[in-house]
Every structure is written in C-alpha cells, then in structure tokens.
Structure 1
Amino acid sequence: MTDRQLPRWSELKPLLRGRPIELDPTTRRLERALSIADLRRAARHRTPRSVFDYTDGAADAEISLRRARSLFRRLELRPSVLRDVSVVDTTTTMLGRPASVPFAFAPTGFTRLMHHDGERAVVRAAQRHGIPYTLSTMGTTTIEDVAAAGPDARRWFQLYVWKDRSAGVDLMARAKAAGFEALMLTVDVPVAGARFRDVRNGFSIPPSLTVKTVLDAATHPAWWFNLLTTEPLTFASLSSWDGTVAELIDQLFDPSMTLADLEWLRASWDGPLIIKGIQTVEDARRVVDAGADVVVLSNHGGRQLDRAPVPLRLLPDVVDALEGRAEVWTDTGILNGTDIVAALALGADATMVGRAYLYGLMAGGERGVDRAAKILTAEVRRTMALLGVRTVTELGPQHVRLP
C-alpha cells in the first residue's frame, strides 16, 4: 500500500505560478507563435481569404512549391559532436559587406494588403535585425517613403523590366537617389503564372466589394477597417491599377527582354547587380558572364512555372560551375532556420525569405515581422550548434545529405 497525505500549502504554493495576464491581443498572439508555421496559422485567421491565398499560393497545381518544401523536409543533417559551440556566430558577407544573419527579406508585391503598414513595417524590422530588405517594383510604398522609414537599413530595389523602358530608368534613378545599395533584376516573369487561387477568389488590386468580400469583411473587420481608414493603396511604380495581378503583369512587363538588355540596364545602374530567377546552370553562367554580381536560384516561390527546377537541388551544380565568380543565393520553400542552414551547407552564400516574414506581417504587423526574424535567427543559431559548427563558413556538404 502507498502511504498518502494531504498536500501542505507550503508545498503547493511553489507550483501555482500563474503568468501575468497580457491584455494586448497582438502580443498574446505573437508570444504563442514558436515557429513560422505558427505565424502562418495566425495570418490565416487575421486576413481575408483572398489576401492570405495571394501570399500563400503558387501557380497551377502548386507542384513547384510543394517539391521545394518537400526536399527541405526530406534532407538529412549530419552533425559532428564534441565540438565547442559555446559561441555561435551567424554573421556572413553579402555583396562584400557584413550581414548579421545569412538571409535577406525578399521582394514582395502589394505588401500593404497583408497589413496596412506594409513595407514600412518590414524595413523598420529589417533595420533593427541587420537584415537586408528588397523593395519590389510592385510594392505598395514608394521608394522614398521606404528609405525614410528605414534610413539605416540595407535597402535593395527589385526591378521588373517594363515595355516602357523609360519607366525602369526613372525607378533606378529614384532608387539610387534614395540610397538603395543594389539592384535586383527578376528575370522569370515574361508573362504571369497561372495562379488559380487568385482567380477563384476574385482577387484584384484594389480589392473589389462583391458579395463574397462583404461577407468576408464580417469575419475580418479589423483588416478592412485598417485598409479603408489609412492612406489609399499606392504603388512604388504606378499610380493606379484596377484589375487582377495577372492582367497587370501581362499589360506592363516586357516579354521580349533578352540578355542583351543587361547592357541597357548597366547604363543606368552602376552599383551591385543581383539577378533573381535563375533555374539552370547554363543561365547562371550566362548572367555572370554578362556582369551579374549575385545569382539568385529561384523559381519565384513556385508562382510562375509549375514543375520548375527545385533551387536547392540545383544549388551545388551552380556553385561548382561558377567557381566563385559571383555570389550564389537561393530561395523558395524556406520556412525555418534549418532550411537556411541546409542551403548554406550546400554552397549558398546566403538565402532569401519571403512568405516567412509576410506571415509575421499578417499576424502582427511590424511586431510580427520582428517575431519572424527572431524565430529564424534562433533556429539558425540552434541548428548550427547542434551540427557542431560555430561560424557560417564552417558549414559544408559534409553536414547535409540530399535524398
């Protein structure tokens, strides 16, 4: 028989440690988010279906995106034990300058639809964490306003080449005048990908008031209130548009652009040049031969060509082919710091994340972006320690095995 006794108050008291009541709902929501997946779930509840699906979705059957994420999930990490990892340093070099973490915030369009503070919130958070931020041509805050919001941030400008080349020249001049460090040319959008979620949701810019959106507004009143009571939706590169994203792309973007057009671009931009959207070894060689300083292996987050190459799978071959002539970055499918570390081990100089910080933005505005940056940084540091490496430069192919 087990002897029992009533517990004494002195024994119970240490166990009854209640947490202080947090009155701010955003703080409560973000404190519960332990991963980017948690932020994604919060974002889904905070924003209208069409806005969430625009961020979360990809092209056609979304095979490219699923394959990219699947490869990250299935790879095997190979730790080296009995190493001194009492101090782990996540700093690296991007464009020849130090960066506090080995990832940057990728360009994203229509960011003020995710949260009314939009690009301003992102660049302020990026500045605090020492993370480079790229403003998209399709951004919803002007070049000058982003520069004012993050005067000490590393700011890059992403360019799509329009049929009207003078518009591109003007944008590059404005970016240069506003102190943007580098130009990122995206080359994988000659036409818009087939984004079925947007079509099914009737997603348009600006959002149209239909029976469906009015019903959705009833379940997301804060989002609609913020949209309708803050500054009107504007764009970094055009004054207005009334239609779908695909219609905008097909109307404005130049499908006739070739490698020869890089000479035109170089005549207007003499700073670092990043080429984003490379999906073959041969194209990586071609753009570096034409003067690219950085190659970003990307299939546009699966949002353009479905069944496109998985950037992570392509990464070792491109690194070998370029032989150090340019930096090699990668994106697509990255949802945690372990994904970032795996890409670095396979040869990437750095990575870019898009949806990860947008989920944070939708979940809690600027504080949500902060939370996403902290989650990713902590995961990078922890994964490095568990692998037995102290610095980014110690990572190598011995630490990861692809399936």
Structure 2
Amino acid sequence: MASTRDWFETVAEAQRRAKRRLPKGVYMALVAGAEAGTTMDDNTAAFAELGFRPRVADLPTEREVSTTVMGQDVAFPVLISPTGVQAVDPDGEVAVARASAAAGTVMGLSSFASKPVEEVAEANPKFFFQSYWVGDRDAMLARAERARAAGAKGLIVTLDWVFDSRRDWGSPFIPERLDVKAMARYAPQVAVRPGYLLRWLKHGKLPDLGVPNLVARGQDVPTFFGAYGQWMMTPPVTWDDLQWLREQWGGPFMVKGITHPDDARRAVDIGATAISVSNHGGNNLDSTPASIRLLPDVVDAVGDQIEILLDGGIRRGSDVVKALALGARAVMIGRAYLWGMAANGEKGVNNVLAILRSGVEETLFGLAKSSIHQLGPDDLVIPADFTRSSPKK
C-alpha cells in the first residue's frame, strides 16, 4: 500500500513527516542521543548486520503473533515504551493509549507523562506504570499506589539514566514553563511550523510541561524540570530498594535498563517478573553497544528464569522478529510511535503499530514459521563479532 496523505507505509516516512510538522526544538528532543550519539546510531545499525535464512516452499497460510507479557495478553509482540512529556500532539499519552488499546497491546505510561494516569487508564486499562527512582521510599510507594488504584497491571522501574545531557550537536532548548519569554524564544521555530500551534489552539491549550503522575492526586503538579531536579538529588537506587518496592507492589514488576548479565541475575534474585534490555534509546552512557547486541548474553544468563524484552532501535516488523529470534519475548517502541503521533495524531500511532504487526507476519511467512514462538537463532545469520562480547574463558 503506497503512502497517502493519511497513511505512511514505513516508520521512516513517519519520521520524515514528523520532522516537517514539528518545531525544530521539539523534533530534536525526540531524536537526540547522548554525547556523540554513538549508541543511538548503533541501536538501529546493529539490526542491519543480522541476516535471515528464508525458506521458499511449504510456507504457512496463517501466522500466530500473540503472546503474554507480565500476565497480560498482547495481540502481537510490540508494547508501548513509556516516554516523558509528549508535546508532539495535544492528546499526548491518551491518544497513544487509545491506539495501543485498538491494536490489542499494552501501554507503558511514564511517571513524567503529561496526562494523569487516571485519564490514560480510561483509554487503555491494559497499562503498566513506569517510574524512575525519584524521592524516598514513601514517595515511590505513594506513586505506585496511585497507579494501582487507577488499574495499572504492572510496575516498571527505569534505571538506565546517568543525567548526561551533553549533545555534540547541541541540546534543544526546553523551557521550565511556557511563559512569555519561552514562547518568544520558540516563536521563530513555530512560525515556520504553524500547523503545530494550530493543533494545540484547536484544543484550547498550549503544551503542558507539568508531570501530574509524580505526586499524589490533588497535589500541586511539578514542572518537568522541577521533577527532574528532584530526581537528580535522589540518592542512587540500590538492589535492596528495588526488592523492597517489588515486595510492596506485590504484582508484575519490570526492571528496565538492563545491559549487563550480572544485573539481569540480580533482577532475578529480587523476584522481578521481567527485564527490559535497554540503553534508553541511546540516552544513557554513550558507547554502550546497541541493545540487540547485548540481548544474547542476557538471554544466556537468565532467559529461562525471567521474561526478557528488548527496547531500542525497532523500526520494522523484521527488527521485532530478529529480537524474538535472539530470545526476547517482546519488544518496546518509543521514537517510532512518537513520530507516528507527530505525523498524524492518534491515527499515526495506529499506523505505526499496523506497520510493525504486518512486518512481523510477513517476516514469519518468509521464514516458514507459523508462530513467533518457533523463532530461534538458527533463523538468523549472525556475524561472529555481533555481540561485541569478551572472549569466554
């Protein structure tokens, strides 16, 4: 199906449309990686190094793509990764929740989201709530309990962040709040992207940089940078902290940001349900290899003891299949759906999810697999140095 005004046939096309529609600073906030962007670039480049071993006859007429993640049925193995303040569209996380519900998959909601957890829960009851370790234990538990009351089916704690905001090409300006000074600074960018401002004005508001899910319902909502400052001042989390929170939560629990096999083993030790192999989309420690390169060693270490997801660099359904063949149960996407939303709102998110699902099914067909659960490393051509692992002694 060729691209039309209301449909794009690739995630790359969604990105191009997002770039045309968003003010430069907003777009750069979506694509920027830490420092030189080495990890961010490798997240996508690594997938191109993996080849397939296709078959040509006895191909399956039907393909099973459903699975379960942390006790939740999903129609296909792609989940929404939690991302912060979604200023690319007025409906933000609520639009993403509606789209993911329509696609039959789980929404990951960030504690730094711009929409209250209660509104998102109404749009998609099948959601996991995510939090960084911000504040003391009481604050963490209060945040989790608010999410539980709203119906969260699981808790995600994100650990892959070192507060490195340096960018070799310059960090985009993000204001503390949209006051007159900030709007004047953004005015030249918005002037060449008037459609962006018009979409917000039609909704009777401007982008909100508050983070309502970081506090108890009814409390004053902190600004994004107010919350960020609190996060920076919070002492580093310990494995004892994580075990305590997992026990207090008592339900499905994911540790996001695992890249080292030893950390994967520690996640198993504290009783986590799942881990996400992730480098925060290249926004953690630059020069970390791509998530997909690190996945096999993590799978070797704990693959029979915990659910493993892959987050980072997914742009095609074939990328999803490669991750599953290397041992992931499912993948999580971030930039891809944000580009879709920037390109065409909720319909754009639906579009991205449809692209990925059809790509998974097409790739299974080419591999002569009738189910995603039949995939394994033998379906891939893997370069000898792909994982960048140290030689085994």
Distance 1:155 1:237 in 2: 17
Deviation at 1:162, TM superposition (A): 1.1
Distance 1:267 1:76, change over 3 A: closer
- Structure 2 residue corresponding to 1:314, chosen from 291, 294, 300: 294
Q: What is the match of residue 355 of structure 1?
A: 335
User: Are 1:296 and 1:328, in contact at CA under 8 Å, matched by a contact in 2?
Assistant: yes
Distance 1:186 1:242, change over 3 A: closer
Distance 2:11 2:247 in 1: 41
Deviation at 1:343, TM superposition (A): 0.5
Deviation at 1:216, TM superposition (A): 1.0
Deviation at 1:83, TM superposition (A): 2.5
- Structure 1 residue corresponding to 2:129, chosen from 157, 175, 178: 157
Offset from partner CA, 1:206-228 (integer Å, 9 cap, x none): 35535541111111223223445
User: Are 2:259 and 2:298, in contact at CA under 8 Å, matched by a contact in 1?
Assistant: no
Gap runs ≥5 in structure 1: 1-18, 20-26
Which structure 2 residues correspond to residues 20-169 of structure 1 after superposition, within 5 A?
28-31=4-7, 33-111=8-86, 113-151=87-125, 154-169=126-141
- Structure 2 residue corresponding to 1:341, chosen from 321, 324, 344: 321
Deviation at 1:243, TM superposition (A): 7.0
- Structure 1 residue corresponding to 2:143, chosen from 160, 171, 181: 171
Gap runs ≥5 in structure 2: 384-393
Q: Which amino acid aligns with 1:315?
A: L
Runs of 4+ in 1 over 3 A off after TM superposition: 197-200, 205-208, 225-228, 238-244
Q: What is the match of residue 281 of structure 2?
A: 301
Q: Kindly report the root-mean-square deviation, in angstroms, between the aligned alpha carbons of the 2 structures.
A: 2.1
SS of the residue aligned with 1:140? coil
Distance 1:314 1:67, change over 3 A: same
User: Are 1:54 and 1:198, in contact at CA under 8 Å, matched by a contact in 2?
Assistant: no
**Higher gyration radius (CA):** 1
Deviation at 1:331, TM superposition (A): 1.1
Distance 1:64 1:215 in 2: 31
User: Are 1:59 and 1:195, in contact at CA under 8 Å, matched by a contact in 2?
Assistant: yes
- Structure 1 residue corresponding to 2:214, chosen from 230, 237, 242: 237
Distance 2:283 2:6 in 1: 28
Distance 2:189 2:83 in 1: 24
Aligned residues: 371
Q: Which amino acid aligns with 2:27?
A: F
Moved more, 180-189 or 248-257: 248-257
Distance 1:278 1:46 in 2: 34
Distance 1:258 1:227, change over 3 A: same
- Structure 2 residue corresponding to 1:266, chosen from 246, 250, 254: 246
Distance 2:147 2:240 in 1: 23
Distance 1:45 1:342 in 2: 31
Distance 1:249 1:184 in 2: 18
TM norm structure 2: 0.89
Distance 1:322 1:272 in 2: 17
User: Are 2:261 and 2:297, in contact at CA under 8 Å, matched by a contact in 1?
Assistant: yes
Percent identity for Structure 1 against Structure 2: 35
- Structure 1 residue corresponding to 2:164, chosen from 193, 215, 222: 193
Offset from partner CA, 1:314-344 (integer Å, 9 cap, x none): 2122112114110111111111111100000
Distance 2:172 2:274 in 1: 36
User: Are 1:53 and 1:198, in contact at CA under 8 Å, matched by a contact in 2?
Assistant: no
SS of the residue aligned with 2:5? helix
Distance 1:210 1:125, change over 3 A: closer
